[in-house]
Every structure is written in structure tokens, then in C-alpha cells.
Structure 1
Amino acid sequence: MIITLIIICEVGFWVLLGIGLSLRYFARMPRASMAVLLCEPLLEVLLLVVTAIDLKNGAEPDWKHGLAAVYIGFSVALGPQLIKWADQRFAHRFAGGPPPVLPPKYGKARAIHEWKTAARWIVASAIAMGLLQGAIWYVGSDGDIGSLQAWQQKMLFLIGINLVWAASYTLFPKKGSGDHAPVDKPRSYSDR
């Protein structure tokens, strides 16, 4: 049941996003669009409540409960950025908006971009770890919490990967075709 609900939440996210952006750009109804987009967090609340009820009703904690916590953490931390990403592309494609701004390619600007991206993933992992810890306390010492702890270890590993990735752009900045890194400016698809 938990896996089905995670899939429903993911499909629901994209459906609500499509409806919200369609209302904004096709129907010219920005308030209705905002109302639809504000329904997105309700999907995560529903998943959290159903997961808690499942555990309360005596379900043995397993990888599905851990995956639900991870999904919620990533939706909360990465969802707003994903909505912004989709909005830029939707506006450009269907409403004559400016081309989406691409991340910088070189130097310090690229390193800053990578650190911001890593920060979002670290926050997502931290939220997931917090939810997993809450589930561990909720289940108590009587239940088998090994699968939840395994998910926490995976989140720590993901944090480490993001730190190494961002640090690599700081320590070894990507340079342009010349001997020095060019000054970056925001790029759009038309600059390709």
C-alpha cells in the first residue's frame, strides 16, 4: 500500500504541476494556478499520515516505510526548485517567456551553483533522516528498525557524495577553452 501511495503522490505532483501551469499560462488564472500548486504539499502530508497509521496498526517497519520518508524529504526540499524549473520552461515554450537560464559553466560561478545544488540535496537528506528518526522513535525498541537505520545510512552517504561533488568544483574549477576561466554570466538556451 505504501509503494502504491508513493507512486500516486509522484503522479499527483506532476498532474498538479501541469494543471497549475496550464491555469497560469493558458487560462490566465494566476490565483487558481497558485491554489492548485499549493495543494502539492498535501500529497506529502497524506503520505506521512498513511505511513504513520500503517506503523501504528502494527506493520513491521521495512524499506517501504523508509522510502516514504525519503520521498517526503526530497519532495519538501527539491519540489520548489523543480516547480521553478518547470515554470521557466513552460513560460518559454507556451507563453513567449524568456529562455530558461542555464547554470554557469565555468569558474567560481559554477562552484557556487554546485554548492547551492548540494545544499538542497543535503537539506532533503536531513529532512529524510529526521523523519526516519521520528519513525524509529515511534516504533520504539520493540520493533525491527534495521531497515529505517539503513535508509539513514544511505542519506549520510548521499550527503557525503554531495559534499565531495561540490568541493571538487571549488578545488578544481572547470575552465574554458583559454588558459583562464572566463567570467560567467547567466546563460540561456539561445546562447548555445
Structure 2
Amino acid sequence: MLYVVIIACEFAFWAVLFAGLFVRYGLRMPRLSTVVLLLTPLVDLVLLAVASWDLLSGGTANLAHSLAAIYLGYSLAYGKRHIGKLDRWFQARYARKRQQPVPVFQDMEKELPRSQRERRAWFRLLRMYLVLATLMGGAILLTGDPARTQALHAPLLIWTLIVLVDGVISFARRDEPAAPAGADRAGS
């Protein structure tokens, strides 16, 4: 049943998001769109409540509980970023449709050196990990029955290793030094 709830929450998240942005740009009702967009965290709360209820009512953790924790971690770490990108896309689409000037958006992160971009990406991954680890660890502690939560141990270990390896790689990266001015004209 939890798999169905995860799929339904994913569908609901995107449906609420598209509806909110359509109301904002298609119907030109920014206040109502804000109310609709505020429903996106509610989707996460529904998933959290169902997964928690399942475990606390005597259920045994399985892959679905790990997926729920990963989903919630991803949603909290990357959701705002995805919403912002989609918001800019809707804004540009409706500007073109109404033959208005298309706003130019600058992705400030693209202008950063590669090492800084990778470190920022790692910190987003770390935020995701902290949420999913808190949820999985909390489930393990709250149920108080290692046999019922055994399925959460391996995914938690795997995600810990992923975050550690990605962190080492991200912080070990060094940008190539910029070429000195006029170096391209050497030998002329």
C-alpha cells in the first residue's frame, strides 16, 4: 500500500505544482496561486504520516519505507530548486504566448567555478541525506524492534557511503588556474 501512496504523492506534488503555476501565469491570479502552491508541503506530510502510521501500528519496514524517506529527503532538499526552475519556465512560456518580452534569467550558479558548483551540489545532497537519515534512524528508534526495521539498515548505510564518497570527490576537486593574460598570444 505504501508504494501506491508514494506514487500518488509524486503525482499530487506535480499536479499541485502545475496547477499553482497555471493559476499564477495562465489565469493571472498570483494570490490564489500562492495558496495552491502552499499545498505542496502537504503532500509530503501525507506521505510522512502514512509511512509513520504503518510502522507505528506494527508494520515491518521494507523498501517502500526507504523510498518514502528518500522521497521526502529529495523533496525537501531539491523541491525549491525544481519549483523555481518550473516557475521561470512558466513565466517565459506565458510571456511568449502573450507576445510580451521574455524575461532573461541568469543562473548565477553556472558562473561559479566548477569546484564551487560541485560543493553546492554536495551540500544539497547532504541536506537530502540528513532528512532521509533522520527519518530512517527515527523509524528504527521509534519502533524499538530491530527485526522490524532491518530493511532500513542497508539503504541507510548505502546513502551514508554515497554522501561520504561524493563529499570527498567534491572537496578534492580543484579548478584549473586561469591562463595569464596574453598567454594565448605567446609566440606571435
Question: Structure 2, unaligned stretches of length 5 or more?
Answer: 96-100, 182-188
1:121-160 alignment, distance < 5 Å: 121-141=125-145, 143-160=147-164
Q: TM-score, normalised by structure 2?
A: 0.83
Cα contact 1:23–1:30 (8 A) shared by 2: yes
- Indicate the residue corresponding to 2:186 in structure 1: none
State the match for 1:63 in structure 2. 63
Percent of paired sites with the same residue? 31
1:180 maps to amino acid: A
Q: Taking structure 1 as the reference length, what is the TM-score of the superposition? A: 0.81
Please say if residues 69 and 132 of structure 2, whose CA atoms lie closer than 8 Å, have aligned partners that are also in contact: yes
Secondary structure (helix, strand or coil) at the match of 2:120 reads helix
Contact 2:140–2:146, Cα closer than 8 Å, also in 1: no
2:72 alignment counterpart: 72
Write out aligned runs for 1:152-191 (5 A): 152-168=156-172, 170-171=173-174, 173=175, 180=179
Q: Which amino acid aligns with 2:110?
A: P
Code of the aligned partner of 1:66: S
C-alpha distance in 2, partners of 1:34/1:165?
A: 39
Q: Distance in 1 between matches of 2:132 and 2:69?
A: 5
1:104 to 90, 110, 114: 110
Deviations 1:109-157 (A, max 9, x none): 3322222221111101111000001100122135332211112112212
Q: Confirm or deny: 8 A CA contact 1:61 1:147 kept in the other structure.
A: yes
Alignment RMSD: 2.2
Contact 1:61/1:144 (8 A) holds in 2: yes
- Is the alpha carbon distance of 1:65 and 1:153 closer, same or farther for their aligned partners in structure 2, counting shifts above 3 Å? same
Looking at structure 2, the residues matched to 142 and 20 of structure 1 have their Cα atoms a distance apart, in angstroms, of 42
Q: Using the alignment, how far apart are the partners of 2:166 and 2:9 within structure 1?
A: 26
- Paired with 1:12 and 1:90, the residues of 2 have a C-alpha distance of 19
Corresponding position of 1:186: none
Aligned letter for 1:98? P
Which secondary structure state, in structure 1, belongs to the residue aligned with residue 110 of structure 2? coil
* SS in structure 2 of the partner of residue 58 of structure 1: coil
Unaligned runs of 5+ in 1: 183-192
Which residue does 1:44 correspond to in 2? 44
1:154-174 deviation digits (Å, cap 9, x = unpaired): 221221243144235x42x26
Higher radius of gyration, 1 or 2: 2
Question: How far apart are the structure 2 equivalents of 1:161 and 1:93?
Answer: 39
- In the alignment, what sits opposite 1:185? none
